[in-house]
Chain A
Amino acid sequence: MAATGGILCSAIVLFSCSKSGSSPNPGGGTGTDPDATLVNLGANIIIPSYQSLATSTVALDAAVTGFYASPAAGTLATAQAAFKSAYKAWEACSGFEFGPAADASLTTHFTNSFPTDTVTIKNNIGGASYAIDGLGNFAAQGFPALDWLLFGNGNDATLVRFTTDSHAAGAKAYLTALSASLKTKVATVNTAWSATGGNYLAKFEKASGVDAGSSLSLLLNAYVLDFDVNLQNYKIGIPIGLYGPSVLPKAPAKVEGYFSALSVQLLVAQVQSIQNIYLGGSGSGIDDKIVASKVLYNGGSLNDAIKNQIGVVLTKMQALPDPLSTGIQNNATTITDAYTEIRKLTVLLKVDMPSALGIKISFQDDDGD
């Protein structure tokens, strides 16, 4: 073993002596230098996103509480506006479902399962016993449940539900329970990330590399899942009837934010967030790592291909018919066009991007060889 150590050391000395030739790849991160991409994404993208979500869910809870105290057209409008901005803030966080978000169940499964389960919600309101963030209640909570309660069947019916209806008290209690639960979960995650709280940020910055449990592996798996499954399959594929467990007709009511007709704004917000994470805002992003990998795509650089395709998808999202559900009803070709471009970006994000970085997607702990 001593001989081994000796050989290792001499090999290292040999390497170190001759390193003046080429320049190192940026963005790699070393044991001593923190990974610039992780540092920037953690401090300047992820934490601000959760802070913004925390602020807006606090505002939402306050507005809902105001509505609870005096349900009227004015307080409803305030609550609806607060809901919209909180929902859009959520879209910037749905790509970070690992670490604190996974621990606090602030995940798409609990926070954004649509279409919402109106039957369960009605039962809960009507006196059934429920745990608001219980496992079995996953499809009757989060933004989609609020979407239905605050917008379903128009403002008049909504006001009736919370004032003169026989279960008005139950409805009000359920509504406040929903917004309070969201607020609490987001606060938990926000604190867990912050340097003055749980400081997951420090852990995130330190766990470099690409193995299971490394920050980049966790982040990119969550990021790809958010685009591939949440956006491509659930937000568009299922509503237009192309994706599903069985032969399904198109289902316009299965879009995200159906009752508030917020679908397009939410899609745009999510793609902007996808873009922001990729570029790292004005700092180091995933793009720096892709550039450093020097991987090519179709004659150009892979980085250009990904950047361009994100741009194309964003443009397509901005041009979608609003509300999306009506567009689906009318067989708008802009939606199927957009789906085609989304598919191309899915391949780039799920296949080319991780492969250029040596990251495994759909990661399960295992050995390779």
Chain B
Amino acid sequence: MTMAIKYFTRYRHIAPLAVLRIAFGAVLFISTIRFIARGWVHDFYIVPRFHFPFYGFSWVQPMGSTGMYTLYLVMALAALFICLGLFYRIAAPLFFLCFAYAELLDKTYYLNHYYFVTICSFLLILVPAHRYCSLDSLRKPSLKVTQVPAWTILLFKYQLCIVYICAGLSKLTQDWLFNAMPLKIWLPAKASVPLIGPLLRYEWTAYFFSWAGALFDLSIVFLLLGRPTRRIGYVLVIVFHLLTAVLFQIGMFPWLMMSATIIFFSEDFHTGLIRKTRTLLSRKGAFPEPSTKPLQKLGPQPSPKQAPTQMPDPHPSSKSGSVPTSEPPLYFQTRNPKILFPLLGLYFLLQLVLPFRYLLYPGNLLWTEEGYRFSWRVMLMEKGGATFFYVKDPATGKKFEVNNSAYLTPYQERMMETQPDMMLQYAHILKRQYQQQGIASPEVTVQSFVTLNGNGSRLYIDSTVNLAEEQESWFGHKKWILSFTNNPLR
């Protein structure tokens, strides 16, 4: 146990954390600005009449137009401040809260990479990423540290390991490996892409990409962890994510992953990177070289962070010979390790368990989507659906079909049409709407047809079940989802 604690609290140079903060913050800033510029604040949060909150979070309600735009501007500023390392102790939690709030409002917009942003911005709150190479450390030199406990860097490495390995494991399916689905559908559609386009029309290309993608996801973190393979690993990260950026409409995801995986580089690499950038900038006179004087003054002063109770790793500076010699080591101490470490342990346990909760549900995961979200399942299915909702007034026996577009935006409707929990939420929206229109206990049923990975549309939901009377629950199984395999095509 103490061995483990020593492993997590041994000291490492802070440079990887600072570079991660700058790179990730920059991508978050661009991503938030892009979100606003594309009009998505308006389209996603202001236009819709109804929302699909996550279970247990229906109390999270959207604000009005001014409120939502303010939220996103605050989010963008917070991301910029994270990048600059300015008022980081406020900016990091603020970004996390704003982003998580927006994500909780409507599961229509759930994307694995938004989930990734949410949890990474949460992890950023826990670490002193602003105490080096930041405006905070210029503003208040006493904040500066050069040595941080290893856990602050390991957090992000562990998180990325989970992301990639789970993504890889989720690709080990019959459909992905032996039918090259859904890439067999998606790649030929991209035959107009310059350079590699013509290759995408061949069926074997889809197989090649399927196997290469699975292999990449499963092996990349090991390549990045091993010193000799790290550089080639990162080149693969760039190639892989750039390819996905060219081939699929996945927005900022490739850039997020390329910026996050920088953390795997050694501290030598990062200190070198910072030194070179500083030299470059100071030569151009754009950025003053941070004066080392205040630090030297501070050096001999007794301060808690310089008197670590835990002995620092005896070899950090001998291992990382390139740490600027002008910088005396300044240590950041883990606060409340007795509370923090168990909590982090619990967090990672949850991260490891969540992706496998699907095993507790019957049926085909891609079909039912029970346990699908928060599991790093990326680009696994080509799924489309059509739903015909019916409302029946039991008092009169009259039944009619609902015009979904009167209640939902096209985006919400499309996402709802393949996701049972959203259908249930929509049924309850309809129930409330028609109760207001005077039908005391409307019966809501759905005729739903879904196709998964080109297998032909078939009935998805038991169309005799009155969804208005069905209830959502924590992790409960929805018995009214028809089975994928034993389901005759209508």
Which A residues are within 8 Å of any B CB, using their own CB? 1, 3-4, 7-8, 11-12, 15-16, 19, 21-22, 24-25, 28-31, 35, 208-212, 228-229, 233, 237, 241-248, 292-293, 295-298, 302, 343-344, 346-348, 350-352, 354-369
Contacts and interface: CB of A to CB of B under 8 A. Distances in A.
B400 A248 contact: yes
Interface of B: 38, 40, 43, 109, 111-113, 182, 185-186, 188-205, 235, 238-239, 242, 248-253, 378-379, 382-386, 388, 393, 396, 398, 400-403, 405-406, 409-411, 413-414, 437, 439, 449-451, 454-457, 489-490
A209 B201 contact: no
A355 B250 contact: no
Nearest to B456: A297
A25 B409 contact: no
A297 B489 contact: yes
Nearest to B404: A362
A332 B193 CA distance: 52
A262 B227 CA distance: 77
A360 B414 contact: yes
A292 B206 CA distance: 14
B186 A358 contact: yes
A202 to B, nearest CB: 15
Closest 5 CB pairs of A and B: A367-B251, A362-B410, A28-B191, A208-B192, A355-B384
Classify the interface of chain B: helix, strand, loop or mixed. Answer: mixed
Contacts of A296: 454-456
Contact of A351 (B201, B202, B384): B384
A199 to B, nearest CB: 19
Given A4-B239, A209-B193, A347-B386, 18 more contacts: A1-B238, A4-B235, A8-B239, A12-B195, A209-B192, A233-B401, A244-B403, A298-B456, A302-B456, A346-B386, A355-B451, A360-B384, A363-B410, A364-B43, A364-B411, A365-B40, A367-B250, A368-B251
Contacts of B398: 247
A236 B340 CA distance: 64
A241 B414 CA distance: 25
B202 A211 contact: no
Contact of A367 (B193, B252, B410): B252
Most buried by B among A15, A228, A248: A15
B366 to A, nearest CB: 13
B189 A210 contact: yes
16 contacts: A15-B205, A21-B204, A24-B202, A25-B188, A35-B192, A243-B400, A247-B439, A295-B185, A298-B456, A302-B454, A352-B384, A358-B189, A358-B382, A362-B413, A365-B43, A367-B252
A351 B451 contact: yes
Contacts of B192: 29-31, 35, 208-209
Contact of B38 (A8, A228, A302, A365): A365
B239 A369 contact: no
A19 B186 CA distance: 19
B201 A25 contact: yes
A176 to B, nearest CB: 35
Most buried by A among B182, B248, B455, B456: B456
